[in-house]
């Protein structure tokens, strides 16, 4: 028998946190939303998805910014692939067809052309491909911000050391790095503006169009790490003007590890060159061992990909397209605003700016990290400690609901009462 959210809230508010979920939950059925008998949307499940996410009924999972749980249909698709491989290995042609299906589905998800979508292994690989194509040299500069992901900070610091480029870092003010702040750093020697579309640190959502306009006005490009955005919020990529964008599939895309969609705007496709070569980029075989290479984003695939991850991503993309990222954004951002408001009322210092349009909220907890970590673990609450354990990052996903947020706020309320 599973404990209801109402019961969980009552238990949490009474501070009887130890073993709440682990002792009371046994999980629920793995019924797909595609099934005729799937539960209709309700106040407890506004998007009608919770039965596809066992974790939603076994714990209070608020950690999708770290790793997103896969819906059961995506898991089933992956298991079918692995089972087939054990009995009668799938033909390469079928696996490559599934890869093409993923490119097509992702292009629909972000409203791009399929030729603008390639598949690489990780978000970091996408940015490396872009940077290695720009022929950066001494005197050039790249503009990033301090809300960016660590890979970019490492990359550009190394390029400053090895090639003599200048790395210009926009410093956040109260969790915000505005387009106006970027404009103060950009000049005609800027070769790239690189940002996390939605910051992994505090969920701050960049204005991609404003940054793309800024970059293009100076004859340069905009790259966006979108691993914390695509799947959580709706994206029509064309009007943003972003030139390059990569997203991993194991967070808000609800997939696995080892495959990352890589978007390159058609008008700048020739700017970016493959940084390695192999059989999978071949468009046509010519006489005397000569070959032509794809001219679209397929040119970035060079070797056998992680096919199990491709099947898993294919299933999760079907799921997201069925639910609708516009609905997911409306739902999850509203939950984040509810959380932000509650934390602010309780007196916490919230690092995420008020009114921010993403589902991620970070705040300084001001408590003994080891004490509250044990409390949260005992209660079956999943989240991330950040900034040397001084901050907590929370990210409600499509399967979360208002009761989840209120249950978490009942717990944090106790920390403030203890502190006072």
Note whether 158 and 206 are within 8 A (CB): no
Look at residue 9 in the predicted model and tell me its pLDDT.
34
Measured CA to CA, the distance from residue 321 to residue 176 in angstroms comes to 31
Three-state secondary-structure class, residue 80 = helix
Q: What is the DSSP letter of 384?
A: E
CB atoms near residue 281 (< 10 Å): 19
Instruction: Quote the tokens at residue 334.
Output: 């509203």
Better-scored residue on pLDDT, 85 or 318: 318
Rg, the chain, Cα only: 23
Task: Tell me: pLDDT of 406 over 90.
Answer: yes
Kindly indicate the confidence band of residue 363, based on its pLDDT and cuts at 50, 70 and 90.
Answer: very high
- pLDDT per residue as tens digits for the range 145-184: 999 999 888 999 999 999 999 999 999 999 999 999 999 9
Task: Tell me: pLDDT of 292 over 80.
Answer: yes
CATH code, 5-61+324-419:
3.90.1150.10
Task: Tell me: pLDDT of 39 over 90.
Answer: no
Measured CA to CA, the distance from residue 383 to residue 53 in angstroms comes to 17
Kindly report the backbone phi and psi dihedral angles of residue 336, in degrees, each rounded to the nearest multiple of 5, phi listed first. Answer: -65, -40
Task: Tell me: pLDDT of 132 over 80.
Answer: yes
Q: Can you tell me the mean pLDDT for 255-264?
A: 97
Kindly indicate the confidence band of residue 48, based on its pLDDT and cuts at 50, 70 and 90.
Answer: very high
Look at residue 41 in the predicted model and tell me its pLDDT.
64
Better-scored residue on pLDDT, 413 or 41: 413
Kindly indicate the confidence band of residue 298, based on its pLDDT and cuts at 50, 70 and 90.
Answer: very high
Sequence-distant (≥ 6) Cβ neighbours of residue 42 within 8 angstroms: 48
Instruction: Quote the tokens at residue 202.
Output: 């505090």
Task: Tell me: pLDDT of 257 over 50.
Answer: yes
Instruction: Quote the tokens at residue 121.
Output: 């292994």
Kindly indicate the confidence band of residue 28, based on its pLDDT and cuts at 50, 70 and 90.
Answer: very low
Kindly indicate the confidence band of residue 330, based on its pLDDT and cuts at 50, 70 and 90.
Answer: very high
CA 355-242-104 angle, to 5 degrees, is 100
pTM of model > 0.85 = yes
Task: Tell me: pLDDT of 397 over 50.
Answer: yes
Look at residue 88 in the predicted model and tell me its pLDDT.
85
Burial-class residue 156 by CB neighbours within 10 Å (0-12, 13-18, 19+). Answer: buried
Look at residue 312 in the predicted model and tell me its pLDDT.
98
Look at residue 420 in the predicted model and tell me its pLDDT.
58
Domain range annotation of the chain: 5-61+324-419, 76-321
244-246: strand order across its sheet: 117-120, 260-264, 244-246, 222-225, 190-196, 141-145, 166-170
Look at residue 40 in the predicted model and tell me its pLDDT.
56
Note whether 263 and 117 are within 8 A (CB): yes
Q: What is the DSSP string of 224-263?
A: EE-TTTBTTB---HHHHT-SEEE--SSSTT---SS-EEEE
Give the percent of the chain with pLDDT over 90. Answer: 84
Instruction: Quote the tokens at residue 264.
Output: 């390159």
Q: Can you tell me the mean pLDDT for 358-386?
A: 95
Burial-class residue 97 by CB neighbours within 10 Å (0-12, 13-18, 19+). Answer: exposed
Beta pairing partners, 362:
393
Helices vs. strands in the chain: H and E counts, helices first: 14, 15
- Find the range with the poorest average confidence among 27-41, 110-124, 224-238, 393-407: 27-41
Q: Can you tell me the mean pLDDT for 255-261?
A: 97
Fold of the CATH domain 76-321:
3.40.640
Distances (CA, A) of 121 to 205, 242, 304: 24, 21, 11
Task: Tell me: pLDDT of 264 over 90.
Answer: yes
Kindly indicate the confidence band of residue 407, based on its pLDDT and cuts at 50, 70 and 90.
Answer: very high
- pLDDT per residue as tens digits for the range 201-229: 999 999 999 999 999 999 999 999 999 99
Instruction: Quote the tokens at residue 418.
Output: 């203890």
Q: Can you tell me the mean pLDDT for 266-290?
A: 92
Measured CA to CA, the distance from residue 166 to residue 148 in angstroms comes to 17
Q: What is the mean pLDDT of the chain?
A: 89
Task: Tell me: pLDDT of 36 over 80.
Answer: no
Measured CA to CA, the distance from residue 138 to residue 127 in angstroms comes to 20
Give the percent of the chain with pLDDT over 70. Answer: 90
Continuous H helices in 25-112: 55-58, 72-87, 92-110
- Domain 5-61+324-419 shares a fold with domain 76-321: no
């Amino acid at each position: 028998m599973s404990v209801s959210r109402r019961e969980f809230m009552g238990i949490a508010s009474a501070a009887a946190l130890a073993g709440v979920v682990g002792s009371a939950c046994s999980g629920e059925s793995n019924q797909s939303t595609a099934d005729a008998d799937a539960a209709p949307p309700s106040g407890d499940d506004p998007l009608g998805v919770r039965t596809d996410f066992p974790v939603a009924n076994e714990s209070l999972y608020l950690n999708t910014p770290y790793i997103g749980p896969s819906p059961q249909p995506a898991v089933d698709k992956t298991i079918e692939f692995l089972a087939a491989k054990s009995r009668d290995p799938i033909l390469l042609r079928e696996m490559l067809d599934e890869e093409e299906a993923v490119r097509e589905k992702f292009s629909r998800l972000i409203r791009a052309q399929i030729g603008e979508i390639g598949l690489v292994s990780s978000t970091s690989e996408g940015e490396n491909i872009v940077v290695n194509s720009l022929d950066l040299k001494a005197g050039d500069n790249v503009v990033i911000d301090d809300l960016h992901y660590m890979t970019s900070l490492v990359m550009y610091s190394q390029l400053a050391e090895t090639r003599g480029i200048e790395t210009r870092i926009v410093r956040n003010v109260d969790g915000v790095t505005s387009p106006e702040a970027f404009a103060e750093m950009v000049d005609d020697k800027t070769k790239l503006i690189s940002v996390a579309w939605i910051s992994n640190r505090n969920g701050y959502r960049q204005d991609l169009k404003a940054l793309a306009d800024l970059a293009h006005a100076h004859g340069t490009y905009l790259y966006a790490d979108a691993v914390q955005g695509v799947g959580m919020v709706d994206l029509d990529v064309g009007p943003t003007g972003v030139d390059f964008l990569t997203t991993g599939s194991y967070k808000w895309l609800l997939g696995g590890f080892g495959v990352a969609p890589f978007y390159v705007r058609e008008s700048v496709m020739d700017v970016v060159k493959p940084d390695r070569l192999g059989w999978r980029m071949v468009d046509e075989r010519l006489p005397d061992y000569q070959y032509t290479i794809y001219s679209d984003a397929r040119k970035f695939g060079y070797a056998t990909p992680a096919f199990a991850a491709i099947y898993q991503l294919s299933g999760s993309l079907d799921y997201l397209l069925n639910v609708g990222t516009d609905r997911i954004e409306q739902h999850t951002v509203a939950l984040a605003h509810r959380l932000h408001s509650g934390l602010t009322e309780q007196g916490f210092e919230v690092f995420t700016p008020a009114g921010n349009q993403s589902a991620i909220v970070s705040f300084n907890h001001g408590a003994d990290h080891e004490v509250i970590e044990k409390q949260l673990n005992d209660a079956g609450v999943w989240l991330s400690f950040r900034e040397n354990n001084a901050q907590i990052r929370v990210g409600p996903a499509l399967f979360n609901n208002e009761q989840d947020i209120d249950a978490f706020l009942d717990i944090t309320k106790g920390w403030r009462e203890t502190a006072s």
